[in-house]
Amino acid sequence: MSGGVDSAVAAARAADAGHDVTGVHLALARNPQTYRSGARGCCTLEDARDARRAADVIGIPFYVWDMAERFHDDVVDDFVAEYAAGRTPNPCLRCNEKIKFAAVLDRAVALGFDAVVTGHHARLGADGLLRRSVDSAKDQSYVLAVLTRAQLDRSMFPLGDSTKAQVRAEAAARGLAVAEKPDSHDICFIADGDTRKFLAERLGEAPGDIVEARTGAVVGEHRGAYAYTVGQRKGLNIGVPAPDGRPRYVLSITPKTNTVTVGPLDDLAVSTVAGDRPVWTGGPRPDGPVECEVQLRAHGAVVPAVVTLDPGRAMHAELREPVRGVAAGQALVAYRPDPLRGDVVLGSATIR
Protein backbone atom coordinates (compact mmCIF):
# COMPACT_ATOMS: atom_id res chain seq x y z
CA MET A 1 0.00 0.00 0.00
CA SER A 2 1.89 2.97 -1.32
CA GLY A 3 -0.42 5.53 0.21
CA GLY A 4 -2.12 6.10 -3.11
CA VAL A 5 -5.68 5.50 -4.17
CA ASP A 6 -5.11 2.38 -6.29
CA SER A 7 -3.55 0.14 -3.67
CA ALA A 8 -6.08 1.33 -1.08
CA VAL A 9 -9.03 0.28 -3.24
CA ALA A 10 -7.28 -2.95 -4.25
CA ALA A 11 -6.85 -3.82 -0.56
CA ALA A 12 -10.48 -2.97 0.18
CA ARG A 13 -11.72 -5.13 -2.68
CA ALA A 14 -9.54 -8.05 -1.62
CA ALA A 15 -10.85 -7.77 1.93
CA ASP A 16 -14.45 -7.54 0.67
CA ALA A 17 -13.87 -10.67 -1.38
CA GLY A 18 -13.33 -12.51 1.89
CA HIS A 19 -9.56 -12.76 1.87
CA ASP A 20 -7.58 -12.38 5.06
CA VAL A 21 -5.74 -9.21 4.05
CA THR A 22 -2.79 -7.50 5.69
CA GLY A 23 -1.63 -4.10 4.46
CA VAL A 24 2.07 -3.66 3.81
CA HIS A 25 3.81 -0.40 3.05
CA LEU A 26 7.32 -0.65 1.68
CA ALA A 27 10.00 1.60 3.12
CA LEU A 28 12.25 1.97 0.12
CA ALA A 29 14.46 4.91 1.01
CA ARG A 30 17.41 4.40 3.32
CA ASN A 31 16.69 7.83 4.63
CA PRO A 32 13.04 8.82 4.27
CA GLN A 33 14.12 12.32 3.29
CA THR A 34 16.29 11.04 0.43
CA TYR A 35 13.55 10.49 -2.04
CA ARG A 36 10.33 12.37 -2.43
CA SER A 37 9.18 14.96 0.03
CA GLY A 38 5.95 16.86 0.43
CA ALA A 39 3.09 16.23 -1.91
CA ARG A 40 5.11 14.84 -4.80
CA GLY A 41 4.57 11.17 -5.30
CA CYS A 42 5.52 8.28 -3.11
CA CYS A 43 7.99 7.04 -0.51
CA THR A 44 7.39 9.86 1.94
CA LEU A 45 6.38 9.61 5.58
CA GLU A 46 3.13 11.26 4.59
CA ASP A 47 2.48 8.43 2.15
CA ALA A 48 3.12 5.87 4.88
CA ARG A 49 0.57 7.65 7.08
CA ASP A 50 -1.93 7.79 4.22
CA ALA A 51 -1.50 4.07 3.67
CA ARG A 52 -1.93 3.32 7.37
CA ARG A 53 -5.05 5.47 7.54
CA ALA A 54 -6.49 3.65 4.52
CA ALA A 55 -5.79 0.32 6.22
CA ASP A 56 -7.59 1.60 9.34
CA VAL A 57 -10.63 2.54 7.28
CA ILE A 58 -10.67 -0.82 5.52
CA GLY A 59 -10.16 -2.54 8.86
CA ILE A 60 -7.04 -4.57 8.13
CA PRO A 61 -3.71 -4.85 9.97
CA PHE A 62 -0.95 -2.69 8.60
CA TYR A 63 2.83 -2.96 8.71
CA VAL A 64 5.80 -1.23 7.17
CA TRP A 65 8.36 -3.55 5.63
CA ASP A 66 11.87 -2.31 5.23
CA MET A 67 12.98 -3.10 1.69
CA ALA A 68 15.39 -0.19 1.42
CA GLU A 69 18.53 -2.25 0.95
CA ARG A 70 16.99 -4.60 -1.59
CA PHE A 71 15.45 -1.69 -3.45
CA HIS A 72 18.73 0.15 -3.52
CA ASP A 73 20.67 -2.86 -4.78
CA ASP A 74 18.14 -4.26 -7.24
CA VAL A 75 16.45 -1.14 -8.55
CA VAL A 76 18.43 2.05 -7.93
CA ASP A 77 21.90 0.62 -8.53
CA ASP A 78 20.57 -1.34 -11.50
CA PHE A 79 19.05 1.86 -12.87
CA VAL A 80 22.39 3.66 -12.69
CA ALA A 81 24.35 0.70 -14.05
CA GLU A 82 21.99 0.32 -17.00
CA TYR A 83 22.40 3.96 -17.99
CA ALA A 84 26.16 3.59 -17.59
CA ALA A 85 25.98 0.65 -20.00
CA GLY A 86 24.21 2.79 -22.57
CA ARG A 87 20.77 1.35 -21.97
CA THR A 88 17.49 2.97 -20.89
CA PRO A 89 16.05 1.02 -17.95
CA ASN A 90 12.49 0.97 -16.66
CA PRO A 91 12.81 0.97 -12.83
CA CYS A 92 9.10 0.31 -12.20
CA LEU A 93 9.39 -2.90 -14.16
CA ARG A 94 12.53 -3.87 -12.25
CA CYS A 95 10.81 -3.10 -8.94
CA ASN A 96 7.93 -5.39 -9.87
CA GLU A 97 10.31 -8.13 -10.93
CA LYS A 98 12.71 -7.92 -7.98
CA ILE A 99 10.85 -6.29 -5.09
CA LYS A 100 7.06 -6.45 -5.13
CA PHE A 101 6.67 -9.88 -6.70
CA ALA A 102 9.95 -11.32 -5.45
CA ALA A 103 11.33 -10.03 -2.14
CA VAL A 104 7.91 -9.04 -0.79
CA LEU A 105 6.17 -12.09 -2.19
CA ASP A 106 8.82 -14.49 -0.87
CA ARG A 107 8.63 -13.00 2.59
CA ALA A 108 4.84 -13.04 2.52
CA VAL A 109 4.68 -16.67 1.42
CA ALA A 110 7.17 -17.68 4.10
CA LEU A 111 5.02 -15.92 6.68
CA GLY A 112 1.97 -17.88 5.54
CA PHE A 113 0.29 -15.55 3.05
CA ASP A 114 -0.92 -16.89 -0.30
CA ALA A 115 -0.52 -13.94 -2.63
CA VAL A 116 0.46 -10.34 -3.14
CA VAL A 117 -2.36 -7.98 -4.10
CA THR A 118 -1.44 -4.70 -5.77
CA GLY A 119 -3.29 -1.75 -7.23
CA HIS A 120 -1.81 -2.19 -10.69
CA HIS A 121 -4.19 -1.54 -13.55
CA ALA A 122 -4.14 -4.90 -15.28
CA ARG A 123 -6.38 -7.94 -15.45
CA LEU A 124 -5.48 -11.36 -14.17
CA GLY A 125 -8.42 -13.71 -14.26
CA ALA A 126 -9.13 -17.32 -13.47
CA ASP A 127 -7.45 -18.37 -16.75
CA GLY A 128 -4.16 -17.08 -15.31
CA LEU A 129 -3.59 -14.78 -18.27
CA LEU A 130 -2.35 -11.25 -17.73
CA ARG A 131 -4.37 -8.76 -19.75
CA ARG A 132 -4.53 -5.04 -20.29
CA SER A 133 -6.77 -2.98 -18.01
CA VAL A 134 -10.13 -1.83 -19.31
CA ASP A 135 -8.69 1.65 -18.83
CA SER A 136 -6.24 1.74 -21.72
CA ALA A 137 -4.78 5.06 -20.60
CA LYS A 138 -3.90 3.62 -17.17
CA ASP A 139 -2.98 0.12 -18.30
CA GLN A 140 0.10 -1.19 -16.49
CA SER A 141 0.37 -4.63 -18.05
CA TYR A 142 3.60 -3.50 -19.74
CA VAL A 143 5.45 -3.14 -16.40
CA LEU A 144 3.99 -6.46 -15.18
CA ALA A 145 4.84 -8.43 -18.31
CA VAL A 146 8.22 -9.33 -16.80
CA LEU A 147 6.51 -11.53 -14.18
CA THR A 148 6.94 -15.27 -14.52
CA ARG A 149 4.19 -17.85 -14.33
CA ALA A 150 5.11 -18.62 -10.71
CA GLN A 151 4.93 -14.95 -9.80
CA LEU A 152 1.59 -14.43 -11.57
CA ASP A 153 0.16 -17.47 -9.82
CA ARG A 154 0.66 -15.66 -6.51
CA SER A 155 -0.58 -12.26 -7.68
CA MET A 156 -3.94 -10.50 -7.60
CA PHE A 157 -4.84 -7.32 -9.46
CA PRO A 158 -8.37 -6.43 -8.34
CA LEU A 159 -8.52 -3.15 -10.31
CA GLY A 160 -8.18 -4.45 -13.87
CA ASP A 161 -11.88 -4.27 -14.66
CA SER A 162 -12.22 -0.67 -13.50
CA THR A 163 -11.22 2.66 -14.91
CA LYS A 164 -9.17 5.03 -12.82
CA ALA A 165 -12.23 7.26 -12.52
CA GLN A 166 -14.22 4.34 -11.12
CA VAL A 167 -11.44 3.56 -8.66
CA ARG A 168 -11.41 7.14 -7.42
CA ALA A 169 -15.20 7.20 -7.10
CA GLU A 170 -15.12 3.94 -5.16
CA ALA A 171 -12.40 5.27 -2.85
CA ALA A 172 -14.55 8.31 -2.13
CA ALA A 173 -17.61 6.13 -1.50
CA ARG A 174 -15.57 3.98 0.88
CA GLY A 175 -14.46 7.05 2.79
CA LEU A 176 -10.83 6.67 1.82
CA ALA A 177 -9.16 10.05 2.12
CA VAL A 178 -6.72 9.24 -0.69
CA ALA A 179 -9.54 9.31 -3.27
CA GLU A 180 -8.39 12.63 -4.71
CA LYS A 181 -4.66 12.12 -4.29
CA PRO A 182 -2.81 12.95 -7.51
CA ASP A 183 -1.25 10.15 -9.55
CA SER A 184 2.46 9.63 -9.24
CA HIS A 185 4.24 9.73 -12.57
CA ASP A 186 7.95 10.17 -12.25
CA ILE A 187 10.62 7.87 -10.89
CA CYS A 188 9.95 7.58 -7.17
CA PHE A 189 13.60 7.67 -6.08
CA ILE A 190 14.52 10.81 -7.99
CA ALA A 191 13.27 13.50 -5.67
CA ASP A 192 13.21 16.46 -8.02
CA GLY A 193 12.48 14.53 -11.21
CA ASP A 194 15.86 15.50 -12.70
CA THR A 195 17.16 12.16 -13.98
CA ARG A 196 20.17 13.68 -15.69
CA LYS A 197 21.34 15.37 -12.47
CA PHE A 198 20.69 12.16 -10.49
CA LEU A 199 22.88 10.20 -12.90
CA ALA A 200 25.57 12.88 -13.04
CA GLU A 201 25.87 12.79 -9.22
CA ARG A 202 26.42 9.06 -9.32
CA LEU A 203 28.38 8.57 -12.51
CA GLY A 204 30.34 11.82 -12.61
CA GLU A 205 31.21 13.74 -15.73
CA ALA A 206 32.63 11.69 -18.55
CA PRO A 207 33.08 13.91 -21.62
CA GLY A 208 33.13 12.18 -24.98
CA ASP A 209 32.39 12.63 -28.65
CA ILE A 210 29.11 13.02 -30.44
CA VAL A 211 29.62 11.36 -33.81
CA GLU A 212 27.63 11.69 -37.03
CA ALA A 213 26.65 8.16 -38.06
CA ARG A 214 26.93 8.47 -41.85
CA THR A 215 30.18 10.46 -42.03
CA GLY A 216 31.88 9.37 -38.82
CA ALA A 217 32.70 13.02 -38.16
CA VAL A 218 32.84 14.35 -34.61
CA VAL A 219 30.10 16.95 -34.45
CA GLY A 220 30.06 17.78 -30.76
CA GLU A 221 31.01 16.84 -27.23
CA HIS A 222 28.86 15.38 -24.47
CA ARG A 223 29.49 15.39 -20.72
CA GLY A 224 28.34 11.85 -20.13
CA ALA A 225 26.87 9.39 -22.60
CA TYR A 226 24.50 8.14 -19.88
CA ALA A 227 22.49 11.32 -20.20
CA TYR A 228 21.24 10.32 -23.65
CA THR A 229 18.46 8.06 -24.78
CA VAL A 230 17.99 6.55 -28.21
CA GLY A 231 15.53 8.69 -30.14
CA GLN A 232 16.41 11.83 -28.24
CA ARG A 233 16.49 15.02 -30.31
CA LYS A 234 16.59 17.85 -27.81
CA GLY A 235 19.65 18.94 -25.86
CA LEU A 236 22.29 17.53 -28.20
CA ASN A 237 24.08 20.88 -28.50
CA ILE A 238 25.60 20.14 -31.89
CA GLY A 239 27.26 23.19 -33.41
CA VAL A 240 27.75 21.84 -36.93
CA PRO A 241 24.58 21.59 -39.03
CA ALA A 242 23.73 18.21 -40.52
CA PRO A 243 24.73 17.66 -44.18
CA ASP A 244 21.10 17.49 -45.19
CA GLY A 245 20.09 20.35 -42.89
CA ARG A 246 17.54 18.17 -41.10
CA PRO A 247 17.40 17.55 -37.34
CA ARG A 248 19.53 14.79 -35.85
CA TYR A 249 18.59 12.20 -33.29
CA VAL A 250 20.49 9.91 -30.97
CA LEU A 251 20.84 6.63 -32.84
CA SER A 252 22.99 4.70 -30.40
CA ILE A 253 25.18 4.97 -27.32
CA THR A 254 28.49 3.10 -27.12
CA PRO A 255 29.82 3.03 -23.56
CA LYS A 256 33.07 1.32 -24.60
CA THR A 257 34.18 4.33 -26.61
CA ASN A 258 31.97 6.75 -24.66
CA THR A 259 30.41 7.81 -27.94
CA VAL A 260 26.95 9.11 -28.73
CA THR A 261 26.06 8.49 -32.36
CA VAL A 262 23.55 10.77 -34.05
CA GLY A 263 21.85 10.78 -37.42
CA PRO A 264 18.67 11.58 -39.30
CA LEU A 265 15.22 10.40 -38.28
CA ASP A 266 15.08 7.70 -40.94
CA ASP A 267 18.11 5.93 -39.48
CA LEU A 268 16.28 5.63 -36.19
CA ALA A 269 13.77 3.22 -37.61
CA VAL A 270 14.22 -0.46 -36.85
CA SER A 271 12.25 -3.42 -38.08
CA THR A 272 13.77 -6.15 -35.98
CA VAL A 273 14.16 -6.16 -32.21
CA ALA A 274 15.94 -8.75 -30.07
CA GLY A 275 15.53 -9.23 -26.34
CA ASP A 276 17.20 -11.24 -23.60
CA ARG A 277 15.88 -12.89 -20.47
CA PRO A 278 12.52 -13.80 -22.03
CA VAL A 279 9.49 -14.92 -20.05
CA TRP A 280 6.42 -16.48 -21.68
CA THR A 281 3.20 -16.58 -19.70
CA GLY A 282 0.54 -16.45 -22.41
CA GLY A 283 0.47 -20.20 -22.89
CA PRO A 284 2.89 -23.02 -23.61
CA ARG A 285 6.28 -21.89 -24.86
CA PRO A 286 5.88 -21.58 -28.67
CA ASP A 287 8.02 -23.66 -31.02
CA GLY A 288 7.58 -21.43 -34.04
CA PRO A 289 6.81 -17.83 -34.97
CA VAL A 290 3.83 -16.18 -33.28
CA GLU A 291 1.72 -13.52 -34.97
CA CYS A 292 1.05 -10.87 -32.37
CA GLU A 293 1.48 -7.24 -31.40
CA VAL A 294 4.47 -5.80 -29.60
CA GLN A 295 4.97 -2.78 -27.38
CA LEU A 296 8.51 -1.51 -27.01
CA ARG A 297 8.27 1.09 -24.25
CA ALA A 298 5.86 2.12 -21.51
CA HIS A 299 2.89 3.92 -23.03
CA GLY A 300 4.48 3.35 -26.45
CA ALA A 301 2.68 2.53 -29.65
CA VAL A 302 1.71 -1.03 -30.44
CA VAL A 303 2.79 -2.57 -33.76
CA PRO A 304 2.00 -5.90 -35.42
CA ALA A 305 4.92 -8.29 -35.37
CA VAL A 306 6.06 -11.88 -35.61
CA VAL A 307 7.76 -13.04 -32.45
CA THR A 308 10.06 -16.05 -32.14
CA LEU A 309 11.58 -17.58 -29.06
CA ASP A 310 14.90 -19.10 -30.08
CA PRO A 311 16.58 -21.97 -28.28
CA GLY A 312 19.40 -19.62 -27.29
CA ARG A 313 17.05 -18.09 -24.75
CA ALA A 314 16.39 -14.92 -26.69
CA MET A 315 13.26 -13.35 -28.15
CA HIS A 316 13.14 -11.88 -31.65
CA ALA A 317 10.46 -9.65 -33.10
CA GLU A 318 10.07 -8.93 -36.82
CA LEU A 319 8.06 -5.72 -36.90
CA ARG A 320 5.44 -5.40 -39.64
CA GLU A 321 6.18 -1.71 -39.79
CA PRO A 322 9.37 0.09 -38.70
CA VAL A 323 9.45 1.75 -35.30
CA ARG A 324 11.63 4.66 -34.28
CA GLY A 325 13.39 5.18 -30.98
CA VAL A 326 13.71 1.63 -29.72
CA ALA A 327 15.99 1.80 -26.67
CA ALA A 328 18.03 -1.05 -25.25
CA GLY A 329 17.03 -1.83 -21.66
CA GLN A 330 13.30 -1.29 -22.24
CA ALA A 331 10.99 -4.27 -22.43
CA LEU A 332 9.79 -5.97 -25.57
CA VAL A 333 6.28 -7.11 -24.65
CA ALA A 334 4.22 -9.34 -26.93
CA TYR A 335 0.43 -9.15 -26.76
CA ARG A 336 -2.32 -11.23 -28.35
CA PRO A 337 -5.09 -8.79 -29.29
CA ASP A 338 -8.38 -9.50 -27.57
CA PRO A 339 -10.72 -6.53 -27.85
CA LEU A 340 -13.40 -8.27 -25.85
CA ARG A 341 -11.58 -9.41 -22.71
CA GLY A 342 -8.40 -7.35 -22.97
CA ASP A 343 -5.18 -7.94 -24.89
CA VAL A 344 -3.27 -10.86 -23.44
CA VAL A 345 0.37 -10.56 -22.43
CA LEU A 346 2.14 -13.43 -24.18
CA GLY A 347 5.65 -12.74 -22.97
CA SER A 348 8.41 -10.24 -22.62
CA ALA A 349 12.15 -9.76 -22.89
CA THR A 350 14.65 -7.00 -22.20
CA ILE A 351 15.63 -5.24 -25.42
CA ARG A 352 19.26 -5.81 -26.34
Active site residues: 95, 188
With left for phi above 0 and alpha for psi between -120 and 50, is residue 33 left, alpha or beta?
Answer: alpha
Contact predicate 319/272, CB 8 Å: yes
Interaction between residue 114 and another protein (CB under 8 A): no
260 pairs with which residues across the strands? 210, 253
Q: Shortest distance, CB of residue 4 to another protein, whole angstroms?
A: 16
Q: Applying CB under 8 A, which of residues 30, 202, 214, 320 lies at the interface with another protein?
A: 30
Q: Applying CB under 8 A, which of residues 110, 126, 137, 340 lies at the interface with another protein?
A: 110
Indicate the residue among 68 and 191 with the shorter CB distance to another protein: 68
- What is the pairing mode between strands 62-66 and 23-27? parallel
CA 314-315-317 angle, to 5 degrees, is 150
Interaction between residue 112 and another protein (CB under 8 A): yes
Interaction between residue 230 and another protein (CB under 8 A): no
Dist. CA 23–CA 64, nearest whole Å = 8
Indicate the residue among 63 and 215 with the shorter CB distance to another protein: 63
Contact predicate 42/3, CB 8 Å: yes
Q: Applying CB under 8 A, which of residues 54, 68, 116, 349 lies at the interface with another protein?
A: 68
Among 25, 140, 147, smallest CA distance to 96 is for 147
Using DSSP's 3-state secondary structure scheme, residue 62 falls into: strand
Helix (H) or strand (E) holding 98: none
Q: Shortest distance, CB of residue 150 to another protein, whole angstroms?
A: 17
Indicate the residue among 22 and 163 with the shorter CB distance to another protein: 22
Q: Applying CB under 8 A, which of residues 19, 52, 202, 214 lies at the interface with another protein?
A: 52
Q: Which residues bind another protein (CB under 8 A)?
A: 22, 25, 27, 30, 32, 45, 48, 52, 61, 63-70, 106-107, 110-112
